[in-house]
Amino acid sequence: MVVGHGQVLIHLLALSKIKVILTKVVVTAMAMGSHAFKCLHQHVSPDKIFIEPLDSDKTELLLIDRISQEISLKQNEGQIPATSESKQIYGIFGIIRLLAGPYLIVITDRAQVGTLNGHTIWKVTGTQVLSYTKTTFHLNEQQVQDNSRYLAMVEHMLAADSYYYSATYDLTHTMQRLQNTSPEFQQMSLHERGDVRFIWNSHLLLELAQQQELAKYCLPIMLGNVSITPCTIKGDAFNYTVISRRSCFRAGVRYYMRGVNSEGHVANYVETEQIVEYQGNKCSFVQTRGSVPLYWSQYPNLKYKPDPQISTIDDHMAGFESHFATEVYNYGRQVIINLLDQKGQEKELFSTFTDVTQKVNNNNIRYEPFDFHKECKHMRWDRLSILMDRIADEQDQHGYFMVGRDNSPVSMQKGVFRTNCIDCLDRTNVVQSLLSKRTLQQQLEKLEIIHSSQPLESTAFMSTFNNVWADNADVCAKQYGGTGALKTDFTRTGKRTTMGLLQDGYNSAIRYFMNNFYDGFRQDSIDLFLGNHIVDETECTLKPSALLTERDWKFYALPAIFLVAVSMCIISLLLPDEHLGEQVMYVLFWGGASLLTLIVMYIYGGEFVDRPKLVSKSFKTE
Ligand SMILES: *[C@@H]1O[C@H](CO)[C@@H](O)[C@H](O)[C@H]1NC(C)=O
Ligand SMILES: *[C@@H]1O[C@H](CO)[C@@H](O)[C@H](O)[C@H]1NC(C)=O
């Protein structure tokens, strides 16, 4: 795999985070202060971009020279030309280099999500991508074409509508992680001390982060969902927050990114934290999800569900262990809830996973398989209580994080449930929301908001809870699968309904088209944005274009043959013929030919799907 130097650096940082925190030279950071600028003005002139912080007592300016591409910090001595285009911005998303040169991405709009731990949390609702160069005359024709393709990828990523940040708070960390930090941690800049797994603009900030004095311009941004809801139960007001943080390691789309990699990162890894804030008390409960941590793939091939392919050459045990070493380090004890089908298409993956867990000798890992579809078939979702009962003891042992009014620790969370199904979307969402509900009941009892004889289900708060979790499910599903989640009727209403089944049918159809004909582009967009692919200026000159794909003759010939056959079929159907028998013959022949071509296309399905061209291109289709 080609990894940008940014990612390597980030990865190293991830591994030695604690050491960094302890040994980091804090002298400069102290002087910097720990917040990012909240509000800035951007002034654009033909050869310079000035970024002027509005919430700084000093009169400084970040200056980007559009020609030399240099970035520097200057005293504001009135050097901003009066003719420059000015607008208010809320932060720098980052800088990305495409074929035409660097592009500056800034946040132009935001929406307040709510207050967390006294800090305002924002959602990014508008961005602007500004090219340093004003023309593309310096590029050849292919480069112009590729550059606009790259730009479309960047725009696609920015359109995700799920970026969140705070200029004053560590949104990428759980409450428990923040509780356990050293004083030095607080002195570091927000960007430096963020959890690298969840900062989606790390690569984009690289050029700014290289200069220590620009720390306050480096705003870490996470991708996922943050929902903060002020609630009341019987007159007691509390804030209910659910944060889902998507990992940027092994990030990708459903069928192109599966399983584990050699660094122990898994696809579709998401940390979900539920927080209750009540009269200065804070409770938090964390869960994780991620792809089955083995080496496997499931590339799209026009089939409704391609068969999962389990690697026969990679060392599954090594992948598993490297994944869980990090997980145990980060969260403590692990209970793996495996919701895969134990027969049919998912069977082999299920049994390989089970075998590996049985060979592992680690007290910190427990394995809990539950065949969701089998146990809950015929809409018997009440049977999920079987699973919940089996893990109740462990849930109690893990406990949850809580600090009292004076910020003194009351309890810590000692372990997590790590849930997976095949996509880690629909079945996983359902189980996660049940686990959260159970812990929430305990937390609200502890805070004396509800009484132990009063089940949460009986309160009006339940509809808030259900909608928050259904929204959360939709976000994870959109980003990985391409559509909203399935089964959210259950999450929203507590019941599986016929309407829900129909909605799921519709979403499944959209997923099918997205996954087969759009996901190559979506995967490339992620790889470009995260710096897994770094655009090389010599692409399309000294080097070949990175965006060209070699297609087999079948890719061009079969659809053409199909079109001809279908047209001929229609023509023979519509043109009157003197001999009915002959006409029927023609129609049958061309109809048969169309059908045959379709079947051949289906057999060679892998040739027709939209494949990634950048990092994840070198996969084999079965
Ligand atoms: C709850 O949220 C509201 C609105 O964001 C905020 O004003 C209030 O201070 C928050 N309360 C707590 C306990 O955090
Ligand atoms: C995610 O969170 C926001 C609040 O920031 C909320 O408005 C939205 O509905 C959530 N869900 C989705 C699907 O975006």
In the predicted model, what is the mean pLDDT of the chain?
A: 86
Residue-by-residue DSSP string for 370-419: --HHHHTTTT-GGGHHHHHHHHHHHHHHH--EEE-TTS-EEE---EEEEE
Atom of ligand 2 nearest to the CA of 123: 5
Window from 343-347, 379-383, 610-614, 615-619 with minimum mean pLDDT:
615-619
Query: What is the model's pLDDT at position 618?
Result: 52
- Do 426 and 343 form a contact (C-beta atoms < 8 A)? no
What's the 279 CA to ligand 1 centre distance in angstroms? 9
Summarised one tens digit per residue, pLDDT across range 292-323 is 999 988 887 777 788 888 888 889 999 999 99
Side chain identity, residue 604: Y
Nearest ligand to residue 223 Cα: 2
**Pick from 50, 69, 29: which is nearest to 216 by CA?**
29
In the predicted model, what is the mean pLDDT of residues 356-365? 91
Q: How confident is the model at residue 13 (pLDDT cuts 50, 70, 90)?
A: very low
Atom of ligand 1 nearest to the CA of 114: 5
Atom of ligand 2 nearest to the CA of 478: 13
- Rounded to an integer, what distance in angstroms lies between the CA atom of residue 555 and that of residue 12? 42
What's the 115 CA to ligand 1 centre distance in angstroms? 6
- Which tokens go with 541? 């000159």
- The answer to whether residue 458 scores a pLDDT higher than 90 is no
Side chain identity, residue 228: I
In the predicted model, what is the mean pLDDT of residues 610-617? 76
What's the 280 CA to ligand 1 centre distance in angstroms? 10
**Pick from 508, 526, 515: which is nearest to 605 by CA?**
515
- Rounded to an integer, what distance in angstroms lies between the CA atom of residue 427 and that of residue 39? 41
Domains in the chain: boundaries: 34-220, 229-517, 553-607
User: In this predicted model, which residue has the larger pLDDT, 102 or 14?
Assistant: 102
Query: What is the model's pLDDT at position 456?
Result: 86
Query: What is the model's pLDDT at position 32?
Result: 43
Q: Coil, strand or helix: which one is 357?
A: helix
- Do 597 and 569 form a contact (C-beta atoms < 8 A)? no
474 lines ligand 2 (CB under 6 A): yes
What's the 230 CA to ligand 1 centre distance in angstroms? 7
Atom of ligand 1 nearest to the CA of 238: 13
* Nearest CA residue ID for atom 9, ligand 2: 471
Summarised one tens digit per residue, pLDDT across range 275-286 is 999 999 999 999
* Nearest CA residue ID for atom 14, ligand 1: 277
Which of 475, 480, 488, 507 for mutating ligand 2's site (highest number of atoms within 8 Å of CB)? Answer: 475
Summarised one tens digit per residue, pLDDT across range 83-114 is 889 999 999 999 999 999 999 999 999 999 99
Strand partners, 335: 366, 417
> Which residue's structure tokens are 């809801």?
229
Strand partners, 74: 61
- HSE-CB for 522 with a 13 A CA cutoff: 25
Q: Coil, strand or helix: which one is 148?
A: helix
Nearest ligand to residue 113 Cα: 2
In the predicted model, what is the mean pLDDT of residues 400-428? 92
- pTM of this structure: 0.87
End-to-end distance of the chain based on CA atoms, in angstroms? 20
Nearest ligand to residue 276 Cα: 1
Nearest ligand to residue 282 Cα: 1
Proportion of the chain in helix, strand, coil states, percent, rounded to 5: 40, 25, 35
Percent of the chain at pLDDT > 70 equals 93
What's the 395 CA to ligand 1 centre distance in angstroms? 28
230 lines ligand 1 (CB under 6 A): yes
Window from 90-94, 326-330, 448-452, 495-499 with minimum mean pLDDT:
495-499
Query: What is the model's pLDDT at position 353?
Result: 93
- Rounded to an integer, what distance in angstroms lies between the CA atom of residue 319 and that of residue 327? 13
What's the 76 CA to ligand 2 centre distance in angstroms? 39
Q: How confident is the model at residue 617 (pLDDT cuts 50, 70, 90)?
A: low
- Do 450 and 441 form a contact (C-beta atoms < 8 A)? yes
